[in-house]
Amino acid sequence: MRVDVVSIFPDYLAPLELSLIGKARQDGLLELNVHDLRDFTSDRHRTVDDTPYGGGAGMVMKPEPWAQALAAVAADRPSGAAKPVLIVPSPAGERFSQAAAQELAGEERLVFACGRYEGIDERVMEWAAEHFTVRPMSLGDYVLNGGEVAVLAMVEAIGRLLPGVVGNPESLVEESHSDGLLEYPVYTKPSSWRDREVPAVLLSGNHGKIAQWRRHEQYRRTDERRPDLLEHFDAAKLPRADRTAFADLGYDIVDGHLKRRADSGGDSA
């Protein structure tokens, strides 16, 4: 996979040289190119922003430097190749998720446009649609100073899904959000630590019971911390033990979906 990032702070992306993503770059599994937006300006001050039309606070990123930068990135494309995906971090974008990361990990080329100030002139997005598949994306319902932090998170989430990046592929299957649920709690040695014991089932050697305990802990933790994820959980084919686990948490299964009972003490699902 090739990833291009355009930013006015290219050094912000330096952490992508570390850890598994950095090793993936060294091994040729991930090609990462960072471009300085100011290299595509035409004035001696290397200006990338101006005041907004219609008034208001803050500054808006000028369209021409962005068009020049993105055109340069788009031009470096083999003949017949599909349009690169242009991801624009924005609190007004679609929510980035594990499912989105898995989808994007299947792309050949991703381009990230790191906005700053009040954002990028909207006409850039309209123009870019001729050369890219444009996807504004948000990490969550909050505002950052710029897109670089979001890009660090998204590149790591996507990059670690590429074949060969994570040493044990099975770890990708068992982590949070891989199946729409949060991950079960994990423990290591010693078995007793500061008067706290590792759950006995994990020491039993009974792999069937361990797998069931972990699955039920996923249900419990998701209900406790992110009950919204259970609204879309497919419960139609759950085995009896799992149905019992959800019943103990205060859920009924109606038409294959979980519905919290009114007398369970929680909010209605």
Q: Determine the Cα angle at 216 with ends 249 and 244, to 5°.
A: 50
Residue 202: which residues within 8 A CB-CB, separation 6 or more? 187, 210, 213
Q: What is the pLDDT of residues 99-134, one digit of tens each?
A: 999 999 999 999 999 999 999 999 999 999 999 999
Q: What is the pLDDT of residues 143-162, one digit of tens each?
A: 999 999 999 999 999 999 99
Give burial (CB, 10 Å; 0-12/13-18/19+) of 87. buried
- 269 pLDDT band, cuts 50/70/90, is very low
What the block records as the tokens of 35 is: 């471009």
What letter would DSSP give residue 170? H
pLDDT value of position 69? 98
- 257 pLDDT band, cuts 50/70/90, is very high
- What is the C-alpha separation between 199 and 53, in angstroms, rounded? 61
Annotate 101-131 with DSSP letters as a single string. HHHHTT-SEEEEE--BTT-B-HHHHHHHTTT
Percent of the chain whose pLDDT exceeds 90: 85
What letter would DSSP give residue 136? E
Q: What is the pLDDT of residues 205-241, one digit of tens each?
A: 999 999 999 999 999 999 999 999 999 899 999 999 9
Percent of the chain whose pLDDT exceeds 70: 93
More confident site: 243 or 178: 243
**Minimum mean pLDDT range among 121-125, 163-167, 259-263:** 163-167
